[in-house]
Amino acid sequence: MGKGGEVSGDGAKVEGENMAAWLVAVNTLKIQPFRLPPLGPHDVRVRMKAVGICGSDVHHLKTMRCAHFVVKAPMVLGHECAGVIEEVGSEVKSLVVGDRVALEPGISCGHCKYCKGGRYNLCRSMRFFGSPPVNGSLANQVVHPANLCFRLPENVSLEEGAMCEPLSVGIHACRRANVGPETNVLIMGAGPIGLVTMLAARAFGAPRIIMVDVDSYRLSVAKSLGADGFVKVSTNNQDVDEEVIQIQQAMGNDIDVSFDCAGFSKTVSTALNATRAGGKVCLVGMGCNEMTVPLTPAAAREVDVIGIFRYKDTWPLCLEFLRTGKIDVKPLITHRFGFSQEELVEAFEVSARGGDAIKVMFNL
């Protein structure tokens, strides 16, 4: 199992005792003790400082599941995190006590064909913070493999370190879709994932980026973060053809790569139709299970559909982009909370509400 244990005893807080935010039942979060495992020779113990809330965390809270992952026992939430090293295992040479690090959540097996083939994000034995049955990292401390902890440059804050996780999704998507200085990019959905994808696309050199959403406020945020243009659309399937025209007009040029960061039949259909022959449509994040889409006309123009699952080998690049300022994630952090029972509950409510809440961050 993951690096973390069950609740100890009656939940009373002992001084120095490690506490965590447990999902105990639908819509029920409780800060309770979280017993850490002993430190392995290649592990480090990290005092958590910044932890962000992801849409999947909210989904687990509301439904006790996410895709085929089902929460069967109380589980610690959270996986977007950064902190300070407090103890290192006997074989750890790359990190020392006091180092500020961002954590990559998933521990892959290293033996299977996916790991050996360089696609460890697809490892079937992956143990990932906050994906049942593995406990997450919204806690005072966690124990984690040292090789998955990445030291932050001096000028990169712990909150930015925690942002590496969502940013990694955008980076991985841009790599798989081959975004570069010649690719005009369309992004469907200006939520947190659409926004980190936009930041990543710009960092990869995309010359022009158009954002699409139903929500004007989110589009204005996208514009302030550097979108070249935006198109406001409806939720009405009938409007796809008209919206494709508007989008192509806004781009003013062929659309080479589209990212669907919303996950609806309509957004995927729009992306498929708007993308030029020979281009790519990249499905990012969790969408509806079954979709009705014009797949054949797209395939008959050799528009390929690229799938994205989490990320692989992205932290070093994220940290470099943050260090140089090529990417600035700070504007995405809109709400901050401390680590107490009331604030925990309120933070998740704010995150679930959406609207003007992009990234909700805990400071521990």
Q: Which residues form the interface with its own copies (CB under 8 A)?
A: 67, 114, 117, 119, 121-122, 124, 176, 263, 268, 277-278, 283, 286-309
Copy the structure tokens of residue 15.
């001084």
Copy the structure tokens of residue 326.
């090529």
Coil/strand/helix, residue 81: strand
Pick 242 or 328: Cβ nearer its own copies:
242
User: Roughly what angle, to the nearest 10 degrees, separates helices 315-324 and 158-176?
Assistant: 120
* C-alpha to C-alpha distance for 11 and 237, rounded to whole angstroms: 50
CB of 182 to its own copies, least distance (A): 10
* C-alpha to C-alpha distance for 99 and 336, rounded to whole angstroms: 23
CB of 125 to its own copies, least distance (A): 13
- Report the Cα 344 to chain-centroid distance in Å: 20
CB of 40 to its own copies, least distance (A): 28
H helix intervals, 117-214? 158-176, 192-203
What are residue 258's phi and psi, to 5 degrees?
-115, 140
Whose tokens are 């400082």? That residue is 49
* C-alpha to C-alpha distance for 308 and 137, rounded to whole angstroms: 23
CB of 104 to its own copies, least distance (A): 18
DSSP lists the bridge partners of residue 193 as none
CB of 187 to its own copies, least distance (A): 16
User: Roughly what angle, to the nearest 10 degrees, separates helices 341-353 and 55-63?
Assistant: 110
* C-alpha to C-alpha distance for 201 and 205, rounded to whole angstroms: 6
DSSP lists the bridge partners of residue 103 as 81, 149
Pick 42 or 301: Cβ nearer its own copies:
301
Pick 4 or 189: Cβ nearer its own copies:
189
Pick 22 or 259: Cβ nearer its own copies:
259
Pick 151 or 301: Cβ nearer its own copies:
301
CB of 74 to its own copies, least distance (A): 26
* C-alpha to C-alpha distance for 169 and 193, rounded to whole angstroms: 8
Pick 237 or 340: Cβ nearer its own copies:
237
Pick 307 or 325: Cβ nearer its own copies:
307
Contact, 196 vs 209, CB < 8 A? no
Peptide bond into 133 cis (omega under 30): yes
* C-alpha to C-alpha distance for 91 and 99, rounded to whole angstroms: 16
CB of 253 to its own copies, least distance (A): 11
Pick 3 or 176: Cβ nearer its own copies:
176
Pick 4 or 263: Cβ nearer its own copies:
263
- The amino acid occupying position 172 is H
H or E element: which one contains 224? Answer: helix 216-224
CB of 285 to its own copies, least distance (A): 9
CB of 5 to its own copies, least distance (A): 29
